[in-house]
A and B are shown apart, each in its own frame.
Chain A
């Protein structure tokens, strides 16, 4: 088994610990991998003989499938484990899960878990590479990376771009990964949300707070619109979905007043008519499906790099040479 430490370290837990150069390296490595998904035979032998477990303690369709495609297109052997349960059940199984996985001599684990810190917890206990597929409200690094890649594709740069993250920042791992990645790469970052959905001291992470969506639209080059989870309404963070849409919804009427064209991102799955209106989601400025496409490429890049692949050899690796 390959135990050498890659240019990224053993694991990908979040974007906070990465340097700007490491983040750029992942994005650059993703570029050549994009093309594989456009081929008739979408498979290269980069991760042949590697075994990867996709361990999902929370329901996920998009992220899990995206990882699975990335793994399969790199010829890895994959196993999917999807469980759900109370937080206590999850906690109790986590240590044992780690030990069991280790006993089965796997190479990599992609994990999603409802508790912040779960990915790091696992990574500290097993020698396999761990990729965080989302842990609680902490980080979702591959989502952050694919958002960066999508912005860079469209605007040809990230530095100086004004990105506003709209919605439930308090509970969002996507928001944190975006903030860390964007700030490191020199973007100007803002958040726009009801104050009930902003965490303490968010400005300290290098972002500005824009209270009203109208101002955010006036300011931003890019809006990254977060999903409003229905539990938040039940938790009393917002009075109703209808009111949320009225006050914070990204609608075409609001976008029409923007002084410039704004790129619209959304990590999915969307609540149409709540945080984003359908005509915006389906409109000309939406890059939501590009995000999905880029997600596979970014995850291929992360898998390749953590397996010890050299960034400069990614192009060649697509042929037949193993890393």
Chain B
């Protein structure tokens, strides 16, 4: 799809600012990619025979970004997204790999389904697609799915995302059993009893709009439960899309105690509050809901100090018909793959809340580490998965330009600075920004 980097010839990324927190590097370097691997790095590297050279002066070169939380909707809801369109949207957003949630129709709860997602991801030839398998058969929360077989087939973790694991006993089993295979158990923390009937955050906006709210407590209780069970079992819990002040605090303390926990922050929970739901705007309806300014502050603080170590989008495409309903009836979720980097760079890095190396740490290094994925580093010998971004590129979010099939974003019209200009997977350019204009 690109005139650059077909993967057969070596690729020299010359003179970019290489930010690779995995080796504590933030300096101008040339990066040579060859045979699908990072061949080496240095200043003034010669151009090997037949290599393509990409001038990266003024650009930032990083280990490929990884989004550990996306919904690609295939199989079953291909009108919202497919593995192909999702993988391409990921590449366009600067991501070289994504973790696909298993809450498809049917759910990915056996090795054959895992194989289907993997194969479709490979066929897509864009960002790498790593499937997660279900914790429980059919995501019913009753008994463990064939975790071992799914891992063997290529799943990189397990989750019932979309459905919290309400049965603490099942969570215990999952956190015990998963240790054999060395994969994390990812959970959507929400106590369904406390959130029952809720369509948005519990707060004054919900009261005024006449919508039932989900209190912070519905998430806090479940996060604490997961942390306690993780501590009991020694298993690795990965807490998804943490949105509450107390939740962040609980994870911080658990990490201090040595609990094996990793956790996500999403761009939207750091940039928007429940006021975005004013006017019954369904593009601001998501789960967990957008919360209060104090929660936003806490999630950002969590990202800053690494309590929330991974930045993930929870990319949740929905067809426009589904979002064009009364608020109660509309589904939860927003697309995120094509806005994440720009939002984080503009509003967190640009405002001095985190620095560029921290952004790369949370968007590449830590996600790779949490799910034991290849990548997240530019060390010699690692996969040639690289993101090149132009930190000065100004652009406006226009959902009609998305490669994703869906348009459900609350960031329409936002003016951002910084975007991926080149996404390289296995030495092959899978996305190249249209010529600089």
Contacts and interface: CB of A to CB of B under 8 A. Distances in A.
Contacts of B211: 116-117, 136-138
Interface stretch (B97-105, B311-319, B321-329, B414-422): B321-329
B280 A204 contact: no
A307 B327 CA distance: 29
Contacts of A115: 325-329
Interface stretch (A68-76, A87-95, A272-280): A87-95
B16 to A, nearest CB: 47
Query: In the complex, which range does the number of interface residues on chain B fall in?
Result: 20 to 34
Contacts of B202: 200
A136 B328 CA distance: 9
Nearest to A198: B207
Interface string B190-212: 00000000000011101111111
A202 B210 CA distance: 11
Contact of B209 (A88, A117, A202, A204): A117
B325 A116 contact: no
Contacts of A90: 326, 329
Interface string A179-201: 00000000000000000000111
Interface string A231-246: 0000000000000000
A23 to B, nearest CB: 17
Interface in B180-235: 202-204, 206-213, 215
A116 B328 contact: yes
B129 interface: no
Contacts, number: 75
Contacts of B326: 90-91, 94, 113, 115-118, 121, 136
Interface string A109-149: 00001011110110000000000000111110000000000
Contact of A200 (B204, B321, B324, B325): B204
A120 B324 contact: no
Given A91-B330, A94-B325, A204 B207 contact: yes
A293 to B, nearest CB: 27
Interface in B376-425: none
Given A116-B327, A121-B280, A136-B328, A205 B208 contact: yes
A238 to B, nearest CB: 16
B111 to A, nearest CB: 34
B187 to A, nearest CB: 26
Given A117-B280, A201-B204, 10 more contacts: A113-B326, A116-B211, A117-B327, A135-B210, A136-B210, A200-B207, A201-B207, A204-B204, A204-B207, A205-B207
Interface of A: 16, 87-88, 90-92, 94-95, 113, 115-118, 120-121, 135-139, 173, 176, 199-202, 204-205
22 contacts: A16-B208, A90-B329, A91-B326, A95-B325, A115-B326, A115-B327, A116-B209, A116-B280, A116-B327, A120-B279, A121-B280, A121-B325, A121-B326, A136-B211, A136-B326, A136-B328, A138-B209, A138-B211, A173-B210, A200-B202, A200-B204, A205-B208
